[in-house]
Structure 1
Amino acid sequence: MDFNLGTCFYILANYKGYRMSVEECEIELRDYDGEFLRRDVKTEGSIQPEHEVRENCKGCKRKIKLMDEGCVFGCCRVCCSGITKKISSFIGGKVRCCDVHNDRIIKKPTKSVKKPIKKEYVKRICIYKSLSQIIYTGHGADELLAGYGRHRTAYLKGGYKEVTKVLKNEVGRLWERNLGRDDRCISSGGKEARFIFLEDGFVEFIQSLDVTFIADFELGQGVGDKRILRRYAEELGLKECGNLVKRAMQFGSRIGKVVGGEKGDEEFEKSEKFKPPTTDPTKYDKDYRFDITLPDWLPYLQTHGYCVISSAVSSQNTNLALKSLITSLKLLHGNDVDTWDIPEHGLISETLGQSSGAWLIRGSSIVKSAFERIWEEKDLIVSMDCVIIWLSWLNNSNFKPRSEGLHLDQNPFNKLDMISVQGMIPLIDVTEEIGGLQIIPGSHVGVLKEEFKDMHGDMRGKGDWCQAKEEYVEGRGGEARLVECKAGDLILWDSRTVHGGKVGSLGGRREGVEDGEIARASVTVAMVPRAWASEEVLEERKEGFRIGATFNHSPHETGTSTGTVKGKLYEDYIPIELTAEQRELL
């Protein structure tokens, strides 16, 4: 039985306590400094919850006064003080009295404490005693309507066909897993459960629908999962609830904190025998690629200075974006690639940064979800930076690109903190043969950052574009690693991280593409909270979009920092029509 859910149902069915707000619960939990004890229900003298108000003190057996009623230990003020002191001694920290006796100073327990309470206690924080005999639960909604993170993972692996397969499997085993647990929990408290989402007619109706009507995984969390249920909630007027991201009961109720959010089989990990290996941020490995639903990618980004979110843009949209960019280039420079005016470094501004292909990538819900998690903010604006295009040089050395070299896009003297996370979505697989973005892992913090500052002291007070000096490249350049990934992946890196382009060894091509066409194509993207931008900047962004201007990686600066690639503007330029999702990012 799941400990957290079991505790939650037990409290709902049996326990009598005092009403508290979420904020008050947080304060109570912090009193323990993160250390909690599990109560052994078999220990003699351990405190058991009761349905009726206790009339006698559990310590001294004396009549409890009216002012003592509500004590979590069922004791008078003297015995309550004695109990909390014993708890403090046992855990090696200070624990205050219960809320009933907290404001009354107690010097020390009297000799009337006749029955000492042994070791194990737990501070009881509960909301109320439910008088209801029937409990309605929402179990089955996630299994039927694709509400779990694993359903999004299944979609990324095999599309809606794989999601349908997973849903069928989960519904088939629902009675054996969740329902068995819930039946034991609720029945032990004398309550009856009603599983409204598992009513026969409802289950039959949902399973008759196409899975694309139930969920839309092109949309972000809190929008695409359980889509049909969220839309119905909006119809009922529950607009705010309909957009909430799923949160498990044990975390929403804060019960999960009582056991540190750990499962029973994780106890071994807390022992001295289990010590996870430390990760050297400068050591290169291929474990930098994560699914957006996994929690590990953000800590990896913060530690190593970069990471990759897999399949941030669907293969269909990736191919559409690539075709759109090629079409835009042909409209600008003609059908003959020999006439294309592409700079050696491949950073193209002009109007390509405002093309439909670039905006198709920027509007990806998974890309936005990644930046939402980074900044913990949903109202974001997106960069309108350049597009990177390399022509194949396999049989034509004139097309071989020239990298801009290792550099920083955030001055380490003027801007010390993480104020920008840059992103890039390659539209063609990144390989050693072709090349792409390279990173010096861990160079955004610590010793490597200080080393860069020591060697580039002349950059103090200058702009954000900081080109690495030759002696730095000679010393640290060998540690730079190409970020290999798949088309449609989202590469993220802290702007304080030393990075740059790496030209491949062969100018090789992906299979099926002839010489003279595109070898590398990437759309740069970065997002920051809208609140960071002034009203003037927001207006400049709208005007820039209207005239087809390109800015840089800082959406809230409209290209005022150094490093902006200026492009040619056209008087007859007509801006594209943005979707509602894309318009929100402008």
Structure 2
Amino acid sequence: MPHYESEPKIDTNVATGDWRDDLFRDGYVVVKGVLSEDKAQSYKDRMFEWLETFPYGFKADDPSTWGKEHLPEHMKGGMYHGYMVHHEKVIWDARTEPALIDAFAKLWDTKELLVSFDGMNLTLPTPDLKPSTPWPHVDQNPNRKGMQCVQGILNLAPNGVDDGGLVVLKGSHKLNELFFKMHPETKGAGTWGSMDWHGFDESEVDWFKQRGCEEIKVCADPGDLILWDSRQIHYNKVPSSGNVRAVMYICYAPASFASKEDIKEKASYFQQRLGTVNTLAPCEYIPP
């Protein structure tokens, strides 16, 4: 650590004839039906049950208790990364779904994978849910060249244009390297170290839009897996539809990316029931 140009990466110039072509071209893809709709619903129900374990009066069947005062601490409307949620059985059960692992194994062409210890998002439509401010960012250090991390969202509830969720700047992954070459003065440039997060201001986002990158709200059905290149500019928005957003953040990367020291540190996080954001870069990230 840190790994940069010597790190293994995906050859995005190879035509695969499947969903990987969409990912390589657009920087994101929705892999349909990784879980059945019934299985997705069961995970969503268990996420609600997790919220009921807190002593704040939340009841899944009583929307009058869905307000902030009845919920544990969260961010961006419904992102949960505290309370050791990374190691709740419901999330581990989802991480070990064979079809989900198979998707990442297909992408990386290996079954020898490591998973991130990340959280979940259960955004509930309530009067105190305010519109979110975009926070466009990438989660791959520009010193890393090529596709070295692909992030994942396991979607568990119907997610349309107005239902909140992932927004991407389509195609921005292909301009990532050029942007940082042309903007060496960008705040943080040259001092990244092993940090893999970078936020963009409005003028910087416009730079990408002027070169044809389109802002897309990614839509998905229950049981779909959303994947995106970590070089792609993205952020999340809260629902404006009155519907629930329910997702888990799940990312797998080749075990070959990790040194023995990385593995030891990751094992200690597991033993302490901690999350691994920025612990095993590049596939440990602040999710959208």
TM band (smaller chain): 0.7 to 0.9
SS in 1 for 2:117: coil
Distance 1:495 1:426 in 2: 18
- Correspondence for 2:268: 543
- Correspondence for 2:9: none
* Aligned-residue offset at 1:479: 2.2
Distance 1:400 1:298 in 2: 35
Distance 1:305 1:558 in 2: 16
Count of residue correspondences: 255
Contact 1:309 1:490 in 2 (8 A): yes
SS in 2 for 1:302: helix
1:235-246 alignment to 2 at 5 Å?
Answer: none
* Aligned-residue offset at 1:383: 0.9
Rg larger in structure: 1
* Aligned-residue offset at 1:498: 0.8
Distance 2:141 2:228 in 1: 15
Distance 1:453 1:388 in 2: 35
- Correspondence for 1:467: 199
1:86-125 alignment to 2 at 5 Å?
Answer: none
Distance 2:206 2:237 in 1: 15
1:384 correspondence with 2:112: no
1:450 corresponds to which of 163, 174, 178: 178
Q: Label 1:484 to 1:371 Cα distance change in 2 as closer, same or farther (>3 A).
A: same
Greater than 6 Å deviation, 4+ residue runs: none
* Aligned-residue offset at 1:488: 1.0
Contact 2:153 2:226 in 1 (8 A): yes
1:556 corresponds to which of 268, 271, 280: 280
SS in 2 for 1:439: strand
* Aligned-residue offset at 1:558: 9.6
* Aligned-residue offset at 1:340: 0.9
SS in 2 for 1:458: coil
Distance 1:297 1:392 in 2: 32
Distance 1:486 1:334 in 2: 31
2:48 corresponds to which of 326, 337, 351: 326
1:494 correspondence with 2:229: yes
* Aligned-residue offset at 1:507: 3.7
Q: Label 1:545 to 1:379 Cα distance change in 2 as closer, same or farther (>3 A).
A: same
1:372 corresponds to which of 105, 113, 137: 105
SS in 1 for 2:173: coil
1:340 correspondence with 2:74: no
* Aligned-residue offset at 1:474: 4.7
* Aligned-residue offset at 1:404: 5.5
* Aligned-residue offset at 1:301: 0.8
* Aligned-residue offset at 1:296: 1.9
Aligned residue type for 2:136: L
1:190-269 alignment to 2 at 5 Å?
Answer: none
Distance 2:102 2:36 in 1: 15
Contact 2:123 2:238 in 1 (8 A): no
1:406 corresponds to which of 136, 139, 154: 136
Distance 1:557 1:347 in 2: 21
1:349 correspondence with 2:81: yes
- Correspondence for 2:12: none
Q: Label 1:386 to 1:454 Cα distance change in 2 as closer, same or farther (>3 A).
A: farther
* Aligned-residue offset at 1:521: 1.4
Distance 2:188 2:22 in 1: 29
Gapped regions of structure 2 (runs ≥ 5)? 1-15, 59-65
* Aligned-residue offset at 1:421: 0.6
Contact 1:325 1:357 in 2 (8 A): yes
By percentage of residues, which structure has more helix?
Answer: 1
Contact 1:347 1:387 in 2 (8 A): yes
- Correspondence for 1:580: none
- Correspondence for 2:63: none
Distance 1:466 1:404 in 2: 14
1:154-169 alignment to 2 at 5 Å?
Answer: none
Q: Label 1:452 to 1:438 Cα distance change in 2 as closer, same or farther (>3 A).
A: farther
- Correspondence for 2:91: 358
SS in 2 for 1:335: coil
By percentage of residues, which structure has more strand?
Answer: 2
- Correspondence for 1:503: 238
Distance 2:132 2:72 in 1: 15
Gapped regions of structure 1 (runs ≥ 5)? 1-293, 510-518, 566-586
Contact 2:196 2:281 in 1 (8 A): no
Contact 1:388 1:520 in 2 (8 A): yes
1:531 correspondence with 2:253: no
Distance 1:537 1:320 in 2: 34
Q: Label 1:523 to 1:563 Cα distance change in 2 as closer, same or farther (>3 A).
A: closer
Distance 2:49 2:36 in 1: 20
Distance 1:442 1:333 in 2: 45
1:481 correspondence with 2:216: yes
Q: Work out the percentage of aligned pairs sharing the same amino acid.
A: 27
2:151 corresponds to which of 422, 426, 433: 422
1:76-87 alignment to 2 at 5 Å?
Answer: none
Contact 2:169 2:233 in 1 (8 A): yes
SS in 2 for 1:440: strand
Deviations 1:247-300 (A, max 9, x none): xxxxxxxxxxxxxxxxxxxxxxxxxxxxxxxxxxxxxxxxxxxxxxx9321121
Q: Label 1:400 to 1:384 Cα distance change in 2 as closer, same or farther (>3 A).
A: same
Q: Label 1:451 to 1:529 Cα distance change in 2 as closer, same or farther (>3 A).
A: closer
Aligned residue type for 1:308: V
Distance 2:177 2:122 in 1: 30
SS in 1 for 2:196: coil
Contact 2:147 2:229 in 1 (8 A): yes
- Correspondence for 2:13: none
Distance 2:259 2:148 in 1: 16
Contact 2:54 2:72 in 1 (8 A): no
Superposition RMSD on alpha carbons, in Å?
2.7
Of structures 1 and 2, the one scoring higher in RCO (CA 8 A, sep 6+) is 2
Distance 2:242 2:162 in 1: 5
Distance 1:548 1:364 in 2: 20
TM-score normalised to structure 1 length: 0.40
* Aligned-residue offset at 1:564: 8.4
